[in-house]
Structures are given as C-alpha cells and as structure tokens.
C-alpha cells in the first residue's frame, strides 16, 4: 500500500475515454467508495488518483467531491470526448477556460444559467493549469498525430468555452442552446458535453484547481468522422494518454 499526500485526480466519464491511462498507472491500490472505484498509484512518476465518474452532472460532481474530500487531491484533470461548437473540427482538442451549465433555468427568480452557490452564470478554470495543458497538447500534436482513415489530418488545440447539460444533444437542440446562450456567451462555445461544468462548480466551490480536456468527436451538424465508440477507442483514449503523459512529465 502506498500513501499519496499530494495527488492529482484524473477523471473520465467512460472507460474508453481513458483506458490507456488506467492501464499504465503504476503501484496500483484500488479503493472502493460506494459504487465507485478509485485507483491510487503513480502516472509518469506523479502520485494520482484515477476514477470513472460515469455519465451525468450529478455523477461527475459526486466523484469530484470525493476526490477532494476523501483523497485530498490538490488538482483535478478531466479528460474525454465532446461535441464540437464554434470554430472546431472533428479530432481537435478543446481545453476549457470557461464553463456554463446550459440546462439550468430558475427564471424569473434568477438569471438563466445562474449557479446559486457561486452567484455566477459562467465559471472559470485555473489559468496555470490551462497553460500547462495547452503546452502539453501542443507537444503531443507536434509529433504529427493524424488519423487519415477517419479524415483527421491536422488536429488543432484550442482553448475555449465548454457548455454542459444532462442530455446528448441533437442538431436542432444544439441550435437552441446556441441561441439561448448568446447573451452570456457572445462569442459562442467551442465544445458541448455533460460533465465539465459540474466539475467546474465543485472545484470552484472547494477552491481546488482543475482543467478539462475534450476531444471533439462530432460537429454541431452531427457530422461524425466515425462511430462514437470507435472514436473513443482509437482517438480519444490515445489523446488522453499522450497529452496527459506530456502534462505530467512537465509537472
């Protein structure tokens, strides 16, 4: 058994998004908390606690809170896939600098998207972690990463806005979200998913730095390069492992 005093929490929603990370963690110790399994160990020599949150904002928030309260992590990295928003292509990576929960609406008593505990509509990530993750992703893609058979030839790394809600969003719903958020997000959003803004809320409330890394699996018009599960297995898991390897080596 190993003791981890200042670990980094690594989260993904689904196993396919981070299987390579899980499989390469060293000195593993498995801790069961309720229905969740947490893997303590080291990744690239850095103490980590890895876990799968499952899909959904409540699941992500619960898991993030457990990482902080029970395991004492001093930062959280969330990695996985997302749908694309403004200015991104399939195979790109978005690192979130701002987060919004597009399915919160307590009007007329409060503004739309208002997070009561923080008195904000949008939530920030940690600027230092964003810069570190951007540098790590740039180093990873500098190796010439491409998937020609999937139409991914020149993937880009972007910092941007991530919106989250408890739905898989179709094209028509996507356009409604674009329209409903335009006053708060005049420059639009760059990725849409389910968990990121919930992790942002927990980490902002508990004052723990965090960063979310998302591989874009489809675009706003739901044009997809490949089957979603295949994308996670062949692209997202490789991205997560390769970029986080660079991130942790620079830690």
pLDDT tens readout for residues 145-178: 888 878 888 999 999 999 999 888 777 888 899 8
Q: Are 156 and 190 in contact (CB under 8 A)?
A: no
Instruction: CATH number of the domain at 84, please.
Output: 3.40.50.1580
Number of domains the chain contains: 1
Q: Domain containing 170: what range?
A: 8-249
Any idea which residues carry the catalytic annotation? 17, 218
Residue 61: which of 18, 123, 108 has the closest Cα?
123
Q: What is the pLDDT of residue 119?
A: 93
As a whole-number percent, the residues of the chain with pLDDT over 70 amount to: 94
> pLDDT averaged over the chain?
90
Residue 44 three-state SS = coil
Predicted local distance difference test score (pLDDT) of residue 3: 44
Average pLDDT over residues 115-122: 94
What are the C-alpha distances in Å from 28 to residues 51, 72, 76, 174, 243?
Answer: 12, 17, 18, 41, 21
Q: How far apart, in whole angstroms, are the C-alpha atoms of residue 135 and residue 47?
A: 21
137 within some domain: yes
Residue 146 lies in a domain: yes
Residue, of 169 and 216, whose pLDDT is higher = 216
**For residue 68, which phi and psi values (nearest 5 degrees)?**
-80, -50
Does residue 2 lie within any of the structural domains? no
**In this structure, is residue 175 part of a structural domain?**
yes
Does some domain include residue 3? no
Distance of alpha carbon 44 from alpha carbon 42, whole angstroms? 6
Q: For residues 22 and 24, what is the distance between their CA atoms, to the nearest angstrom?
A: 6
Kindly report, residue by residue over 178-205, the tens digit of the pLDDT.
899 999 999 999 999 999 999 999 999 9
In a domain, 228, yes or no: yes
In tens, the pLDDT along 38-90 reads: 999 999 999 999 999 999 999 999 999 999 999 999 999 999 999 989 989 98
């Amino acid at each position: 058994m190993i003791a981890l005093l200042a670990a980094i929490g690594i989260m993904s929603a689904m196993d396919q998004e981070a299987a390579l990370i899980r499989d390469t963690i060293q000195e593993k110790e498995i801790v069961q908390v309720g229905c969740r399994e947490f893997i303590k160990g080291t990744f690239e020599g850095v103490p980590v606690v890895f876990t799968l949150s499952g899909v959904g904002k409540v699941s992500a928030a619960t898991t993030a809170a457990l990482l902080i309260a029970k395991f004492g992590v001093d930062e959280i990295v969330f990695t996985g896939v997302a749908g694309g928003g403004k200015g991104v292509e399939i195979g790109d990576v978005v690192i979130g600098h701002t987060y919004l929960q597009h399915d919160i609406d307590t009007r007329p008593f409060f503004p739309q998207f208002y997070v009561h505990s923080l008195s904000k509509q949008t939530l920030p990530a940690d600027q230092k972690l964003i810069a570190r993750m951007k540098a790590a992703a740039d180093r990873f893609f500098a190796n010439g990463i491409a998937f020609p058979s999937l139409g991914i030839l020149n993937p880009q790394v972007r910092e941007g806005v991530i919106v989250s809600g408890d739905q898989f969003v179709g094209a028509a719903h996507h356009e409604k979200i674009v329209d409903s958020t335009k006053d708060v997000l005049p420059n639009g959003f760059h990725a849409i998913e389910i968990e990121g803004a919930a992790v942002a809320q927990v980490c902002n409330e508990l004052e723990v730095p965090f960063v979310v890394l998302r591989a874009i699996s489809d675009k706003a018009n739901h044009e997809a390069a490949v089957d979603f599960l295949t994308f996670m297995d062949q692209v997202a898991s490789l991205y997560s492992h390769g970029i986080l390897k660079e991130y942790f080596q620079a830690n």
